Amino acid sequence: MSQKLLSLSFALLLAACSQQPVKDVQRPLRESIASYVLEGRVSVRRGNDARQAGIVWQHDTASDVIELSGPLGQNAARLTRDISGAHLQTASRESYSAPDWETLSERVLGVALPLNNMALWATARFQRNVPVRRDASSRPLHAVVDGWQIDYLAYESALPEALPSLIEINRDDIVVRLKVDQWQAN
């Protein structure tokens, strides 16, 4: 896979991977979270090609802004979603737009990625009809949506409302890992 294609794939997979986890932070109920900011790291592997970056994701019901940065903090890509659609701007100033993230990924990469669901998955939420395996605290551990396997490998604390700190999403030869170092949830 070309460097450009993998880099764009990496950025698009996130439009939807340290500090020590914060212990016993009181959070709003998962279902009531309307907006959040997460900071951490993300890695994307497709076959033998892999990329990693820092991530800052600001989400609310009307919009998303995802900033990806390289190992030295330089801007790698910016993804946005709002009423006008989904947009990607790379560090090399290439710009792409589409009505939503999945259409954008299909146009740029030739495959529709599940980016429209990522905002829910990041907070361990799913549509009502999705079967979810849960832990003893009723937190999601595993789900499968449209062939994508979503695994919650760690949470920020043992509390039932704790948010995920390590998520792995995979299908075929694509593996995305999101390590969240800090959450601000409302």
- pTM, full prediction: 0.83
Percent of the chain whose predicted confidence (pLDDT) is above 70 = 84
Per-residue pLDDT, 114: 78
Percent of the chain whose predicted confidence (pLDDT) is above 90 = 56
pLDDT band at 21 (very low <50, low <70, confident <90, very high): very low
Q: How many CB atoms lie within 10 A of CB 95?
A: 9
pLDDT band at 116 (very low <50, low <70, confident <90, very high): confident
Question: With contact defined as beta carbons under 8 Å apart, do 74 and 54 qualify?
Answer: no
Instruction: Say yes or no to pLDDT of 175 above 60.
Output: yes
Average of per-residue pLDDT across 135-149: 95
Per-residue pLDDT, 17: 42
Per-residue pLDDT, 78: 92
pLDDT band at 22 (very low <50, low <70, confident <90, very high): very low
What the chain holds in terms of domains, given with CATH numbers, is 3-185 (2.50.20.10)
Average of per-residue pLDDT across 39-51: 88
Mean pLDDT of the chain: 86
Q: How many CB atoms lie within 10 A of CB 19?
A: 10
pLDDT in tens, 72-111: 678 888 999 999 999 999 889 999 999 998 898 777 766 6
Place of tokens 């146009």: 107
Question: With contact defined as beta carbons under 8 Å apart, do 1 and 49 qualify?
Answer: yes
Place of tokens 């294609």: 5
Instruction: Say yes or no to pLDDT of 26 above 80.
Output: no
Lowest mean pLDDT among 33-47, 102-116, 154-168: 102-116
Dihedral pair phi/psi, residue 91, rounded to 5°: -60, -30
3-state per-residue secondary structure call for 13-41: HCCCCCCCCCCCCCCCCHHHCCCEEEEEE
Question: With contact defined as beta carbons under 8 Å apart, do 88 and 11 qualify?
Answer: yes
